[in-house]
């Protein structure tokens, strides 16, 4: 007993000596009480730490969390980072504010140095650059993607990969009655298609044997690391990078692999261009053949780096985003048989016109692949893809920085240096933007009374961004998606296995967390 009393006396003495202990206990008690009081709210704003704990707590469901916040608190919210880091953030899914930030006053909302630091693997590519460097690259990219030559390359390469790789693989799977992960299939398809368009050669990642690919794996690893840089404090991921641990170690390995492959592809293509042994048949050759007068001085000084950053940017944009978009599209179509029937009706009509009534196409060689001219006239298929991108935008979040103080259309005050987070995912689910049927998959909302695409509704599609920085690869993405979707739906029926837990993966690109397991069956028309 004497021993216990001595301990208590000593403990009380130390408490009196260290009042900080009382403060720590008090802060802990108040924090717990605060959490219990607010835990059922979509956004708990903690003392001192503000929104950081809520962000980390919901990182696994970050995109659906933005919907919860928008529905319960509002379409625009101003928050602060921890008190020891004076970072102010503005979140919005209000289309009025998005229009203002991305189009009306775009010069006040650049990507900023923080964005470039997070996406440093892309170098000085089009996604990362601002100001003069961005204008120089944008000019070249616009000239490239609007050229008849490049449009032809995109259409032909996409159609070739569909015909020679995608459909044979699906036919094999159907014959074997196998179960496949459709997301994996689409990511392989878009990797091969994008790679063929950019480098002029098919890596055959999409084949019956489902081979591994070191370059594709490196892209996956780097994308995963990029997401975690968005949800953890900057100081933390920088410390991990310095110590080479966790996702930063994975990023370093992926970066090295990517650079090794790109260096090889670029140098090989340069040698062939010098020898004059190849006609221009890919994007890399188009960029290499640009005359000095067509380039900006900033780009000419570092030609190899410019080619590296440009090709990697295009590969990132063309592969992951288009592959994930196709996955969500087929999942939505499988849940809406009436939509599938209408798309098939449109495809059959185009097919019949091609066959010009010859035995109603019964003698046509199967599987059938639609060409670029066919794809242009597919209004309902285009509308269905737009509707899928509304609900599941491939890049669900956009981030900007404010240069100067400003006021948004809804009256929210923006301060200089503020981080701006735009949720395309949440905007697509707001009833006050799309109506009471906002969560329904309705391609008809994109079609006007004359049966043409509704330009007023199209103006609200922000999956490819809007304004001066709208994605120049938008048409390329639609060609790749339509090529695959039209051929697959016309020749096969995709049956999604029941009981799957379908939800978005926490990533900078909106992929499915657990993939999409399906059975493929040949369609009998």
Q: Per-residue pLDDT for 453 more than 90?
A: yes
Residue 334 lies in a domain: yes
Q: Residue 340's domain is classified under what CATH number?
A: 1.10.630.10
- Look at residue 486 and tell me if it is in a domain: yes
What residues contact residue 165 under an 8 Å CB cut-off, 6+ apart? 189, 192, 202, 204, 206, 207
Whether residue 51 contacts residue 79, with contact meaning beta carbons closer than 8 Å, is answered with: yes
Rounded mean pLDDT of 39-68? 64
More confident residue, 295 or 260: 260
As a whole number, mean pLDDT of residues 446-464 equals: 93
> Could you tell me if residue 471 is inside a domain?
yes
In this predicted structure, the answer to whether residue 132 has a pLDDT above a threshold of 90 is no
- Predicted pLDDT of residue 291: 62
pLDDT in the model for residue 87: 64
Mean pLDDT, residues 139-149 taken together: 89
Please indicate, yes or no, if residue 57 is contained in any of the structural domains: no
**pLDDT band at residue 347 using 50, 70 and 90 as cut-offs:** very high
For residue 11, pLDDT beyond 70 = no
Other beta carbons less than 10 A from residue 497's beta carbon: 10
In a domain, residue 408? The reply is no
Residue 301 has pLDDT above 70, yes or no: no
Please write the tens of the pLDDT for every residue from 56-95: 666 677 888 889 888 988 899 887 654 434 568 899 999 9
Residue 464 confidence (pLDDT) above 50: yes
Domain extent, residue 119, equals 105-395+429-522
pLDDT at 296: 59
**What is the pLDDT, as a whole number, of residue 16?**
47
**Residue 404: inside a domain:** no
| Of 180, 164, 193, nearest in space to 481 by CA | 193
Which of the residue ranges 100-109, 278-287, 359-368, 384-393 would you say has the lowest mean pLDDT? 359-368
For residue 36, the model assigns a pLDDT of 39
- Residue 293 binned pLDDT confidence (cut-offs 50, 70, 90): low
pLDDT confidence of residue 353:
84
Residue 200 has what pLDDT?
92
Higher model confidence: residue 300 or residue 195? 195
Residue 286 belongs to a domain: yes
CA dihedral 504, 507, 509, 514 (to 10 degrees): -40
C-alpha span between 447 and 434 (Å, rounded): 14
Residue 364: pLDDT band (50, 70, 90) is: low
Compute the distance between CA of residue 248 and CA of residue 396 in angstroms, rounded to an integer.
23
Return the DSSP state at 83.
T
Burial 245-277 (b: 16+ CB within 10 A, else e): ebbbebbbbbbebbeebbeebbeebbeeeeeee
pLDDT greater than 70 at residue 14? no
Answer whether residue 330 shows pLDDT above 50: yes
| 321 Ramachandran zone, left/alpha/beta (phi>0; psi -120 to 50) | alpha
Residue 299 has what pLDDT?
57
* Residue 240 among known ligand-binding residues: no
Tell whether 70 is covered by a domain: no
pLDDT digits (tens, 9 = 90+) for 145-188: 889 999 999 999 999 999 999 999 999 999 999 999 999 999 99
Number of domains in the chain: 1
The pLDDT of residue 124 is above 80: yes
Query: What mean pLDDT do residues 243-258 have?
Result: 95
Round the average pLDDT of the chain to a whole number and report it: 85
Instruction: List pLDDT tens digits, range 506-519.
Output: 888 999 999 999 99
What was the pLDDT predicted at 338? 97
Angle 99-450-356 from CA coordinates, rounded to 5°: 120
Q: Which value, in Å, is the radius of gyration of the alpha carbons in the chain?
A: 26
Q: What is the pLDDT of residues 382-435, one digit of tens each?
A: 999 999 999 999 999 999 999 999 999 999 999 999 989 999 999 999 999 999
Q: Could you tell me which residues come within 8 angstroms of residue 164 by beta carbon, excluding any fewer than 6 positions away?
A: 202
The whole-number pLDDT of residue 83 equals: 42
Share of the chain above pLDDT 90, in %: 61
What pLDDT, on a 0 to 100 scale, did the predictor assign at position 42? 54
Whether 26 has a pLDDT exceeding 70, the answer reads: no
Binned at pLDDT 50, 70 and 90, residue 203 comes out as: very high
Supply the pTM of this predicted model.
0.86
Q: What is the pLDDT of residue 294?
A: 57
Mean pLDDT of 348-365: 69
Lowest mean pLDDT segment, chosen from 48-57, 203-212, 273-282, 285-294: 48-57
């Amino acid at each position: 007993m004497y021993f216990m009393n001595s301990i208590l006396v000593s403990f009380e003495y130390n408490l009196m000596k260290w009042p900080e202990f009382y403060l720590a206990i008090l802060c802990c008690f108040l924090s717990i009480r605060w959490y219990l009081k607010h835990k059922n709210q979509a956004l708990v704003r903690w003392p001192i730490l503000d929104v950081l704990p809520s962000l980390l707590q919901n990182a696994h469901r970050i995109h659906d969390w933005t919907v919860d916040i928008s529905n319960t608190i509002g379409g625009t919210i101003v928050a602060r980072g921890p008190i020891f880091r004076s970072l102010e953030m503005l979140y919005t899914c209000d289309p009025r504010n998005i229009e203002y930030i991305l189009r009306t006053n775009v010069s006040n909302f650049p990507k900023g140095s923080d964005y470039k630091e997070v996406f440093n693997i892309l170098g000085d590519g089009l996604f990362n650059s601002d100001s003069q460097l961005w204008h120089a690259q944008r000019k070249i990219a616009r000239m490239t993607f609007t050229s008849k030559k490049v449009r032809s390359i995109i259409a032909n390469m996409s159609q070739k990969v569909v015909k020679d790789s995608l459909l044979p693989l699906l036919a094999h799977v159907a014959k074997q009655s196998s179960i496949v992960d459709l997301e994996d299939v689409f990511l392989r398809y878009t990797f091969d298609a994008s790679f063929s368009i950019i480098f002029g050669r098919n890596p055959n990642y999409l084949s019956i044997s489902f081979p591994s690919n070191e370059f594709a794996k490196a892209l996956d690893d780097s994308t995963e690391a990029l997401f975690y840089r968005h949800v953890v404090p900057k100081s933390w991921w920088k410390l991990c990078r310095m110590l080479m641990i966790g996702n930063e170690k994975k990023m370093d390995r992926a970066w090295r692999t990517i650079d090794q492959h790109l260096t090889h592809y670029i140098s090989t293509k340069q040698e062939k261009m010098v020898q004059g042994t190849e006609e221009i048949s890919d994007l890399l050759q188009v960029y290499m053949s640009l005359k000095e007068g067509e380039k900006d001085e900033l780009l000419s000084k570092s030609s190899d780096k410019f080619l590296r950053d440009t090709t990697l940017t295009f590969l990132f944009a063309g592969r992951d985003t288009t592959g994930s978009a196709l996955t969500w599209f087929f999942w939505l179509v499988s849940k809406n048989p009436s939509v599938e029937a209408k798309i098939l009706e449109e495809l059959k009509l185009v097919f019949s016109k091609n066959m010009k009534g010859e035995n109603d196409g019964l003698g046509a060689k199967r599987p059938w692949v639609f060409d670029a001219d066919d794809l242009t006239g597919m209004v309902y298929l285009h509308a269905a893809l737009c509707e899928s991108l509304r609900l599941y935008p491939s890049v669900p979040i956009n981030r900007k920085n404010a240069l100067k103080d400003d006021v948004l259309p809804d009256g929210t005050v923006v301060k200089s240096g503020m981080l701006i987070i735009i949720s395309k995912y949440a905007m697509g689910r707001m009833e006050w933007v799309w109506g009471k049927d906002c969560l329904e998959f309705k391609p008809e909302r994109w079609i006007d009374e004359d049966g043409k695409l509704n330009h007023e509704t199209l103006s609200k599609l922000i999956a490819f961004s809007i304004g001066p920085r709208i994605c120049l690869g938008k048409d390329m993405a639609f060609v790749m998606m339509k090529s695959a979707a039209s051929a697959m739906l016309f020749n096969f029926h995709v049956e999604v296995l029941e009981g799957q837990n379908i939800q978005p993966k926490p990533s900078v690109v909106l992929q499915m967390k657990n993939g999409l397991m399906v059975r493929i069956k040949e369609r009998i028309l």
